[in-house]
Amino acid sequence: MKKLSLLIVTSFLLFSCEKEYHPIIENKDIPLLKRITVDGELFMEYTYTEERLPKEEKSKFHYTKHCYNNRNLLSTSEFYMDKAIFSSNSAALEQVMNRKEWVNPGNTEKSLTKIYEYNSNDQLVKTIFDRNSSTDGEYNEYTFENDRITRETMFWNGKPSSFIDFFYDSKGNLIREEKYMILDDGTQNLLTSTEYEFDNKNNPWLAFRRLMKPGKYTNLNNIVKETYTIHFEVSDPAIQKVQVSTYTYTYNHRGYPVIVNGEAEYIYE
């Protein structure tokens, strides 16, 4: 009889715990991007968790799956990619460009897992890179100011190899980033810098801010101009040291982009 009573109480507690779980819903005021088409052809697809956080990113050439903890903090990201896309062999490139089935965990080997660690304030402090083909000590560490990432330091074999500094405007838009290489003697050389200009409309990628990538996923507004500058000497005269990209948008009634550069269409849920 005691065993039966204990079983009933245990079952009740388990059931109560299940009923007490309430997902923390985010991005309630942001329309979730479901698909991107280019010239009418499907290019990207996205799925979301019940908390309205990005779960899957799907395309012909790569697939990514994101997992979160019970505080909606990103815990892992798994990446699958058709490595032939980087091949210098023209036949291999043609084959991958003509593939019909999109990359997914069932047809492609996982190439990378990122593991995310946080401090007691739920700020990202470390990203560990777990590659199938490498066991080198590869990870990134982060510095925060005003709850924004201001520096990302890359480590290789346990030593800092480079870092990126991030600069924001009063709205939180990333207006400049600078990438430095760290030499063996500790010298820091500026490699590249990128400056951004913005519209005054809504950025749909803000729904992806839990992915902890400064810029595209954290900006309040949309980038209209990007100026990329190389700060070292390049031997190839075809490479311009200053490269400028511009972006134009058509917006919906809520001020979110629906057409980008006249060719990419954003389709929301």
User: At residue 66, what is the residue type?
Assistant: H
Answer positive or negative: Cα dihedral of 162, 139, 107, 216: negative
pLDDT of residue 13: 45
Per-residue tokens: 268:
């929301």
pLDDT at 100: 86
Dihedral sign of CA atoms 64, 229, 220, 42 in order: negative
Residue-wise DSSP of 17-32 = HHHH-------TTSPP
Average pLDDT score over residue span 50-62: 97
pTM for this structure?
Answer: 0.87
pLDDT confidence band for 12 (50 / 70 / 90)? very low
For 5, phi and psi rounded to 5 degrees?
-65, -45
Phi, psi (5° rounding) for residue 18?
Answer: -65, -40
Q: Would you state the pLDDT for residue 19?
A: 47
152 vs 125, 159, 161, 163, CA distance in Å? Answer: 9, 14, 11, 5
Which pairs with CB-CB distance under 8 Å and at least 24 residues apart come from 127-130?
127/212
Task: Report which residue type is found at 97.
Answer: M
Looking at residue 20, what is its pLDDT? 58
- Quote the tokens at residue 27: 């991005």
Residue 210 has a CB neighbour count (10 Å cut-off) of: 19
11 vs 264, more confident: 264
In the structure, what pLDDT confidence band is assigned to residue 213 with cuts at 50, 70 and 90? very high
Structure tokens belonging to residue 256: 């979110």
Cα–chain center distance at 175:
18
Q: State how far the Cα of 269 lies from the Cα of 256, in Å rounded to an integer.
A: 13
- CA 131 to each of CA 81, 83, 137, 157: distance values in angstroms, whole numbers, following the listed order: 12, 14, 10, 14
Range with lowest mean pLDDT among 19-33, 101-115, 188-202, 210-224: 19-33
Q: Which two tokens stand for residue 174?
A: 């990333």
Which of 21-30, 40-49, 171-180, 187-196 shows the lowest per-residue confidence on average (mean pLDDT)?
Answer: 21-30
